[in-house]
Amino acid sequence: MRILLVEDEVELAAALRGALARRGFVVDWVPDLGQARIAVREPGLRAVLLDRGLPDGDGVGLLPVIRRMPAPPPVIVLTARGQTMERVEGLDAGADDYLAKPFELDELLARLRAVMRRRSAAAPELLVLGALSFDPQHREARVAEEPLHLPRRELALLELLLRRAGRVVLRETIESAMFGFDDAPASNTVDSHVSRLRRRLAEGKAGVGIHPVRGVGYIARVE
């Protein structure tokens, strides 16, 4: 699951990226508002963690940009500005939640799960193909109700392929969903992940194949 972290405190950003990565998130980090306006348009973004006190302006200025997007990701504002009026200002501007610094990581994770749960509640989804199912909210894959345990990058790959089952998914789109800005893959990394996922699905008798489209990408379909 890919999220965007907009935070100018380098040490805090590094700590958050590490903690979130260990919990299965792919984290893109930018330190200012200008870069955030570009990064927020990256495909596959599921949530935004947004600081207010940025070097080039108030992070709240990003909220109108996000709200104009066709499918805007939920936003949690993380800031030292914790006064009531400032929280009201951020929420009225379009933030989904507001968390004052300093905060505990467990609370941030709970709030992140909550905003994504609320966003998906209007349209509950379970991605199903063959005997394979994937619950995006809980990040769980199953084959005929049996858990299928996958590393986080393969989970991201599986979700993308299932969301576009029967259609070709471009290699560039796969790389974008699986890797952050500072984690560029080697030329054969995507192929290696696809190969491992294909093997796990075959071993689990999922009834789903992942097929290459030469020079373009991959397609998942029922076998």
Residues near 200 by Cβ (< 8 Å), separated by ≥ 6?
148, 150, 154
Task: State mean pLDDT over 135-149.
Answer: 85
Residue 122, pLDDT score: 52
Per residue in 38-84, pLDDT (tens digit) is 999 887 788 999 999 899 999 999 999 898 887 788 999 988 876 77
Task: State mean pLDDT over 110-134.
Answer: 80
Say if residue 178's pLDDT is above 90.
no
Tell me the pLDDT band of 177, cut-offs 50, 70 and 90: confident
Q: How far is CA 34 from CA 11, 27, 75, 99, 104, in A?
A: 20, 18, 17, 22, 28
Cα angle 56-62-64, degrees, rounded to a multiple of 5:
140
Cis-peptide into 102, omega within 30 deg: yes
pTM, two decimal places: 0.64
For domain 2-121, the CATH architecture is: 3-Layer(aba) Sandwich (3.40)
How many percent of the chain have pLDDT more than 70?
A: 93
Residues near 11 by Cβ (< 8 Å), separated by ≥ 6?
none
Say if residue 154's pLDDT is above 60.
yes
Q: Which two tokens stand for residue 107?
A: 């609370």
Residue 96, pLDDT score: 92
Domain 127-222, CATH class in plain words: mainly alpha
Residue 126, pLDDT score: 81
Residue 183, pLDDT score: 67
Q: Which two tokens stand for residue 31?
A: 């330190």
Residues near 133 by Cβ (< 8 Å), separated by ≥ 6?
126, 127, 141, 142, 143
Cα(130)–Cα(106) distance, integer angstroms: 36
Say if residue 181's pLDDT is above 70.
no
* CA-based max dimension of the chain: 57
Q: Could you check whether 2-121 and 127-222 share the same CATH topology?
A: no
Domain ranges of the chain: 2-121, 127-222
